[in-house]
Amino acid sequence: MEMSEDILSPAAITNNLGTRFIGQRVIYYPSLTSTMEVAKREAQQGAAEGTTIVADEQTAGRGRMKRAWLSPEGSIALSVILYPSVAHLPSLVMLASLAVVHSIEAVTGLEAQIKWPNDVLIKGKKVCGILIESEVRRNMVNYAIVGLGLNVNLRLTDFPDILPIATSLSDELGRKVSRLELIRRLLVEMERLYPALPTGESIYVEWRDRLVTLGQKVNVTWGETSYEGIAESVARDGSLMLRRSDGSLTRILAGDVTLRE
- CATH number for the domain that contains residue 173: 3.30.930.10
SS3 state of residue 16: coil
Long-range pairs of 194-199 with CB within 8 A, sequence gap ≥ 24 = 194/22, 194/82, 194/95, 197/84, 197/88, 197/91, 197/92, 197/95, 198/85, 198/88
Neighbours of 17 (CB within 10 A): 16
pLDDT per residue, tens digit, the chain (261 aa), is 344 457 889 999 999 999 999 999 999 999 888 899 999 999 999 999 999 999 988 776 555 445 555 566 788 999 999 999 999 998 999 999 999 999 999 999 999 999 998 899 999 999 999 999 999 999 899 999 999 999 999 888 888 888 888 999 999 999 999 999 999 999 999 999 999 888 767 899 999 999 999 999 999 998 888 999 999 999 999 999 999 999 999 999 888 888 876
Q: Are residues 159 and 249 in the same domain?
A: no
Please tell me the total count of domains within the chain: 2
Where among 209, 230, 245 does a domain terminate? 209
On the CB side of 140, CA atoms within 13 Å amount to 3
Q: Which domain holds residue 191?
A: 4-209
Query: In terms of DSSP H, where are the helices of the chain?
Result: 10-14, 35-44, 92-108, 169-173, 179-193, 201-209
SS3 state of residue 80: strand
What does the pLDDT read at residue 72?
65
Where among 168, 183, 209 does a domain terminate? 209
Separation CA 80–CA 145 (nearest Å): 6
Q: Are residues 23 and 133 in the same domain?
A: yes
Q: Are residues 63 and 143 in the same domain?
A: yes
Q: Are residues 19 and 133 in the same domain?
A: yes
What does the pLDDT read at residue 205?
93
Q: Are residues 253 and 135 in the same domain?
A: no
